[in-house]
Amino acid sequence: MAVPTEFSGVVLSLENTIYPDEKLQETPSQLDGLSKEMETNLRIAGCEYIQAAGILLKLPQVAMATAQVLYQRYYYSKSFVKYNYEICAMACIFLAAKIEEHPRRIRDVVNVFYHIRRKLNELPNKVMDYMSNEYFHKKSEVIKAERRVLKELGFCVHVKHPHKCIVTYLKILECNDNTELIQKAWNYMNDSLRTDVFMRYTPETIACACIYLSARQLGIGLPSNPPWYEVFDATTKEMEVYLLIVSVIDSVDMLIYQVKYVVDIIAS
Amino acid sequence: MHNQNLDSIKVKTLEEILQEKRNRSRSDSENIAETEDSPGSQFLTDTINFITKNVTSDTKDETTSAALELDEGEIISSGEENLNHIDDTKPTKRNHASQNDELDDYEEGEIKDRDEVERKEEFVPAADSSIISNRQISTTKLPPYLPAVQGCRSVEAFEWLNRIEEGTYGVVYRAKDLKSDEVVALKRLKMEKEREGFPITSLREINTLLKADHPNIVHVREIVVGSNMDKIYIVMEYVEHDLKTLMESMSQPFSISEVKCLMKQLLSAVQHLHDNWILHRDLKTSNLLLSHQGILKVGDFGLAREYGSPLKVYTSIVVTLWYRCPELLLGVKEYSTAVDMWSVGCIFGEFLVKKPLFPGKSEIDQLNKIFKDLGTPNDQIWSGFSELPVAKKVTFTEQPYNRLRDRFGAYLTDQGFDLLNRFLTYDPKKRISAEDALNHEYFQQEPRPLDPSMFPTWPAKSELMKRPSKANRSPTAPEGGGMCKIAGAADGFRITYATQGKAAGGAGFNLKF
Chain A residue with CA closest to B235: the answer is A10
Looking at the complex, report in whole angstroms how far the Cα of residue B492 sits from the nearest Cα belonging to chain A. 25
Q: Is the per-residue pLDDT at B111 higher than 50?
A: no
Count CA within 13 A, CB hemisphere, residue B234: 30
Q: Is residue B151 part of a domain?
A: yes
Best of B65, B120, B123 to disrupt the A interface (most A CBs within 10 Å) is B65
Cβ distance of B79 and A14 shorter than 8 Å:
no
Of B47, B142, B148, the CB nearest to A154: B148
Query: Which residues of B participate in catalysis according to the annotation?
Result: 282
Q: Is residue B503 part of a domain?
A: no
Q: How far is CA B232 from CA A103, B184, B224, B291, in A?
A: 21, 15, 6, 25
Instruction: Report the interhelical angle of A36-56 vs A61-74 (nearest 10°).
Output: 150
Q: Which helix (H) or strand (E) holds B174?
A: strand B171-177
Cβ distance of A18 and B125 shorter than 8 Å:
yes
Same domain, B411 and B388: yes
Most confident of B9-13, B22-26, B121-125, B328-332: B328-332
**What is the CATH classification number for the domain harbouring B199?**
3.30.200.20
The answer to whether the beta carbons of residues B157 and B223 sit under 8 Å apart is no
pLDDT in tens, A60-89: 999 999 999 999 999 999 999 899 999 999
3-state secondary structure of B297: strand
- pLDDT band with cut points at 50, 70 and 90 for residue B263: very high
Same domain, B327 and B281: yes
Looking at the complex, report in whole angstroms how far the Cα of residue B56 sits from the nearest Cα belonging to chain A. 12
Q: Check for a shared fold between A18-25+35-152 and A163-249.
A: yes
Q: Is the per-residue pLDDT at B52 higher than 60?
A: no
Q: Is residue B116 part of a domain?
A: no
R_g over Cα of chain B: 25
Strands B288-290 and B241-242: antiparallel
Q: Is the per-residue pLDDT at A217 higher than 80?
A: no
Same domain, B289 and B179: no
Quick one: pLDDT at residue B272? 96
Q: Chain A partners of B28 at a C-beta cutoff of 8 Å?
A: none
Same domain, B163 and B269: no
**Minimum mean pLDDT among B7-11, B227-231, B434-438: which range?**
B7-11
Quick one: pLDDT at residue B184? 93
Reported ipTM: 0.84
CATH homologous superfamily of A18-25+35-152 = Cyclin-like (1.10.472.10)
Using the CB atoms, write b or e for B217-253: b if 16+ within 10 Å: bbbbbbbbbeeeeebbbbbbbbbbbbbbbbbeeeeeb
Instruction: Report the interhelical angle of A179-192 vs A163-172 (nearest 10°).
Output: 150
- pLDDT band with cut points at 50, 70 and 90 for residue B94: very low
> Which residues form the domain of B260?
239-461
A-facing residues of B in 298-357 (CB < 8 A) are 305-306
Does A165 or A251 have the greater pLDDT score? A165
pLDDT in tens, B166-208: 655 568 899 999 888 899 999 988 776 678 889 988 899 999 9
Domain boundary among B199, B215, B238: B238
Q: Which helix (H) or strand (E) holds A117?
A: helix A106-120
- pLDDT band with cut points at 50, 70 and 90 for residue A4: low
Quick one: pLDDT at residue B19? 53
Does A98 or B165 have the greater pLDDT score? A98
pLDDT in tens, B338-374: 999 999 999 999 999 999 999 999 999 999 999 999 9
- pLDDT band with cut points at 50, 70 and 90 for residue A242: low
Q: Chain A partners of B152 at a C-beta cutoff of 8 Å?
A: 150-152, 154-155
Same domain, B279 and B307: yes
Q: Look at the alpha carbons of B197, B202, B208, B210 in this order and tell me if their dihedral is positive or negative.
A: negative
- In chain B, the number of structural domains is 2
Same domain, B252 and B220: no
**Structure letter (DSSP) for residue A19:** -
The answer to whether the beta carbons of residues B296 and B269 sit under 8 Å apart is yes
Cβ distance of B71 and A62 shorter than 8 Å:
yes
Cβ distance of A1 and B151 shorter than 8 Å:
yes
Q: CA–CA separation, A27 vs A72, rounded Å?
A: 11
Dmax (CA) for chain A in angstroms is 65
Strand partners, B163: B173
pLDDT in tens, B396-418: 888 888 888 888 877 788 899 99
Chain B residue with CA closest to A99: the answer is B203
pLDDT in tens, A111-132: 999 988 888 877 887 878 888 8
Same domain, B190 and B332: no
Q: Is residue B68 part of a domain?
A: no
Helices (H), A153-227: 163-172, 179-192, 197-200, 203-218
Chain length of chain A: 268
Does B28 or B281 have the greater pLDDT score? B281
Output the DSSP codes for B201-270: HHHHHHHHHHH---TTBPPEEEEEE-TTS--EEEEEE--SEEHHHHHHH-SSPPPHHHHHHHHHHHHHHH
**What is the CATH classification number for the domain harbouring B285?**
1.10.510.10
Quick one: pLDDT at residue B87? 39
Q: Is residue B257 part of a domain?
A: yes
- Cβ pairs A/B, distance under 8 A: 239
Q: Please state, for a pLDDT cut of 70, what percent of chain A lies above it.
A: 81
Contacts of residue A127, Cβ cutoff 8 Å, sequence gap at least 6: A111
Cβ distance of A21 and B129 shorter than 8 Å:
yes
Quick one: pLDDT at residue B51? 43
Q: Is residue B247 part of a domain?
A: yes
Q: CA–CA separation, B341 vs B474, rounded Å?
A: 19
Cβ distance of B221 and A10 shorter than 8 Å:
yes
Cβ distance of B48 and A168 shorter than 8 Å:
no
B117 in contact with A, Cβ within 8 Å: yes
Domain boundary among B220, B238, B256: B238
Same domain, B271 and B234: no
Contacts of residue A12, Cβ cutoff 8 Å, sequence gap at least 6: A154, A155, A156, B2, B147, B148, B210, B220, B221, B222
Q: Which fold has domain A163-249?
A: Cyclin A; domain 1 (1.10.472)
A182 in contact with B, Cβ within 8 Å: yes
Dmax (CA) for chain B in angstroms is 85
Q: Is the per-residue pLDDT at B456 higher than 80?
A: yes
Cβ distance of B78 and A160 shorter than 8 Å:
yes
pLDDT in tens, A138-147: 999 999 999 9
Domains of chain A by residue range: 18-25+35-152, 163-249
Q: Which helix (H) or strand (E) holds B96?
A: helix B91-106
- pLDDT band with cut points at 50, 70 and 90 for residue B461: low
Q: Is residue B313 part of a domain?
A: yes
Same domain, B245 and B210: no
Contacts of residue A103, Cβ cutoff 8 Å, sequence gap at least 6: A97, B196, B200
User: If you average pLDDT over every residue of chain B, what do you get?
Assistant: 71
Q: Chain B partners of A157 at a C-beta cutoff of 8 Å?
A: 203
Over range A234-260, report the average pLDDT. 56
Does A247 or B353 have the greater pLDDT score? B353
Domain boundary among B215, B238, B261: B238
Q: Is residue B371 part of a domain?
A: yes
pLDDT in tens, B122-146: 343 443 444 344 444 444 467 778 8
Strand partners, B185: B174, B236
The answer to whether the beta carbons of residues B399 and B376 sit under 8 Å apart is yes
Q: CA–CA separation, B327 vs B336, rounded Å?
A: 11
Q: Is the per-residue pLDDT at A226 higher than 50?
A: yes
Same domain, B304 and B446: yes
B372 in contact with A, Cβ within 8 Å: no
Same domain, B213 and B310: no
